[in-house]
Structure 1
């Protein structure tokens, strides 16, 4: 089975370019945008050799995993574009839930969305999302959303425990996952609608949020904020309620929950 778009993604006008192996699907997507590609188009592979995640951390996809980046050029401000990452998390969570429900072996896997850009399975990192944006020649914004999912293997040297679908007992290929992901992306991208639908994206995201109401520790550089994970606001910032009752918006940082909060702050 080859990597291919789902039927809904095709109907929505998406295209796809498939690579046997590539350094980085995000880098390829942005390079194409600089050359005039406006999308919407996916760049996908089952082997990525030089990918990266947040804070320039390496994100390598060994053969059998899924690295997929979607490029869309749009008229939105960078701050609005950033909220599209929450739609990406919902799309992947929905695709994973569908495939789990279709499994021949009954499985009950808890998929959760970890602020700002991870998808967890049974409290372990299963996927990461990297959103990048850059102004292009016509003044519009080229937005690339990269989604890397551990299908058959997970790295062991991550700051947060990682897992794979195979380790969880879900027998699914990167090809099946991409078809489902592309369909759900088309649906959630339409809901997001250039940021106008973020209120609905936020509502659904919070229904699947990891650690909501729990103790969190957020590290950003040398700064550490601790408190309860209250919500996310209408810009996507994480809202932390401190022991003193203050509500602090966090725009970026590494999040550690409950039992791991003190370890993350150490």
Structure 2
């Protein structure tokens, strides 16, 4: 099966560029924007050789996993561009549920209604059964004094996951799913349409925030957040109207965090120091 856009995406003017191998889907998308591409372009590849995660970390995409980037140009006020990561998280979790309703966990055989729980970890990860399944990376570029482009990069462990990382990771195959990168992308391009309509150029951000919180990993639990060398500890209370991470400390005060690395539960006491 080849990569293809969902009919809903085609009808709304989205386009697709698919590759067998690429250096970085995000880099290619931003290059296209600088060359004059109007946006609403999906870039997908069967293999990505030099992908990036947050803070410049490497994100490998071996053949069979999904590397996809959505390029948008002048889609909203620049101040709201960062919230697109939350829109993408909702769309991706919907797509995952559509293609991979697989049983997981030791007790799954006893409860046939038990299904994979895809949770959203602030700010940009998707977890399955508590392990990292996918990551989202937003990168932007100014095209002129008033115009800008945003590349929404999405990487999903479909057939393989890293084992040499300091956190639990998994793949759809490891969870028992036979979904492919192609079927997942088809569902993703469709799910994006609904999430984008709800976001509505940033005007529907509050509905996106509420929906995101219903799928939030670690909500109400002990948390530690690394912020520029500092470790902020407390309880994950919510995300605010700007999608900042809100931590309540032991004294009852709150801290609003725009960027940082989050650790939950027992890991919050050990790994975040």
Q: Does 1:256 align with 2:263?
A: yes
What is the TM-score of this pair, normalised by structure 2? 0.94
1:79 to partner: Cα distance: 2.7
1:102 to partner: Cα distance: 8.5
Distance 2:269 2:224 in 1: 7
| Structure 1 stretch displaced more, 62-71 or 133-142 | 133-142
Match of 2:56 in 1: 56
Structure 1: gaps (5+ residues) = none
Does the CA contact (< 8 Å) of 2:102 and 2:175 recur in 1?
no
Match of 1:246 in 2: 253
Structure 2: gaps (5+ residues) = 104-108
Q: Does 1:227 align with 2:234?
A: yes
Does the CA contact (< 8 Å) of 2:5 and 2:16 recur in 1?
yes
Match of 1:68 in 2: 68
Q: Does 1:78 align with 2:85?
A: no
Match of 2:216 in 1: 209
What is the TM-score of this pair, normalised by structure 1? 0.96
Match of 2:106 in 1: none
Does the CA contact (< 8 Å) of 2:101 and 2:116 recur in 1?
no
- Deviations along 1:148-178, one digit per CA (max 9) or x if unpaired, are 0000001122232111000000111100000
Q: Does 1:98 align with 2:136?
A: no
Match of 1:147 in 2: 154
| Structure 1 stretch displaced more, 188-197 or 24-33 | 188-197
* Aligned positions, number: 265
SS where residue 16 of structure 1 aligns?
A: strand
Equivalent runs, 1:129-208 vs 2, <5 Å: 129-137=136-144, 139-208=146-215
Q: Aligned pair in 2 of structure 1 residues 253, 102: CA closer, same or farther (>3 Å)? A: closer
Match of 1:4 in 2: 4
1:77 to partner: Cα distance: 3.4
- Deviations along 1:90-121, one digit per CA (max 9) or x if unpaired, are 00000011112489x97711100000000000
SS where residue 89 of structure 2 aligns?
A: helix
> Which is richer in strand?
1
| Structure 1 stretch displaced more, 48-57 or 78-87 | 78-87
SS where residue 59 of structure 1 aligns?
A: coil
1:207 to partner: Cα distance: 0.3
